[in-house]
């Protein structure tokens, strides 16, 4: 008898961006790339807002996550996202992750509901949700002063806004040239309508 080992999938739940927001984010990346700092920039097609990273999960857990997403879709309606300002984690003087920030009142509530739900499913807790669009990850100190200066000059950058009307379960497949993301499942934010 052959016992089929359950395959683990690397997943996260995200808000996908409009082409317009991706284009404006890519323009900011291109301005910062000219500094020639050692940054691994996120590919334009991979730009997104992570609501909850799930990590390597079993296929049966994926089904539970889909059910959770359905519940959330019935509770919440579409969310207006405003993309404004540039910053870094842990901070601008020691950047590790460069991001565009912004505002999205209800997105935090959606993320909190997701967090509660995935914990009930049995996944470990994550740090609290922080609305940001990751542009790149700093790999070394090369040209770091020039990079932080350029980020300061772009600190009030405004990419505009978009309406997020669905949440997406994403599959992340790792390749030597970088991750590739594909949509596994999507749920409309149809609650309150």
Residues recognised as catalytic: 48, 132
Q: Is 34 exposed, middle or buried (0-12, 13-18, 19+ CB in 10 A)?
A: exposed
Decide: 11 and 62 in contact? Cβ < 8 Å.
Answer: yes
DSSP 77: B
Q: Sheet holding 79-91: strands in order across? A: 39-41, 133-138, 94-103, 79-91, 158-164
| Cα–Cα separations (whole angstroms), residue 176 to 40, 133, 179 | 13, 23, 8
CA distance 89 to 61: 30
CA distance 114 to 65: 9
Q: Which residues of 47-78 are buried (b: 16+ CB within 10 A; e: fewer)?
A: bbbbbbbbeebeeebbebbeebbeebbeebeb
């Amino acid at each position: 008898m052959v016992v089929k080992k359950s395959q683990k999938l690397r997943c996260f739940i995200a808000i996908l961006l409009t082409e317009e927001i991706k284009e404006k984010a890519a323009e900011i990346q291109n301005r910062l790339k000219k500094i020639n700092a050692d940054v691994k920039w996120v590919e334009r097609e991979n730009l997104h807002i992570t609501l909850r990273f799930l990590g390597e999960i079993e296929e049966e857990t994926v089904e539970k996550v889909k059910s959770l997403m359905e519940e959330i879709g019935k509770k919440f309606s579409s969310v207006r996202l405003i993309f404004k300002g540039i910053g870094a984690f842990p901070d601008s003087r020691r950047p590790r992750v460069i991001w565009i920030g912004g505002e999205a009142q209800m997105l935090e509530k959606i993320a909190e509901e997701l967090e509660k739900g995935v914990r009930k499913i049995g996944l470990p807790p994550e740090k609290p949700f922080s609305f940001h669009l990751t542009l790149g990850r700093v790999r070394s100190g090369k040209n770091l002063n020039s990079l932080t200066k350029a980020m300061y000059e772009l600190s009030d950058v405004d990419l505009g806004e978009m309406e997020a009307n669905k949440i997406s379960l994403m599959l992340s497949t790792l390749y030597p040239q970088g991750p590739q993301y594909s949509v596994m499942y999507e749920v409309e934010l149809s609650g309150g309508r």
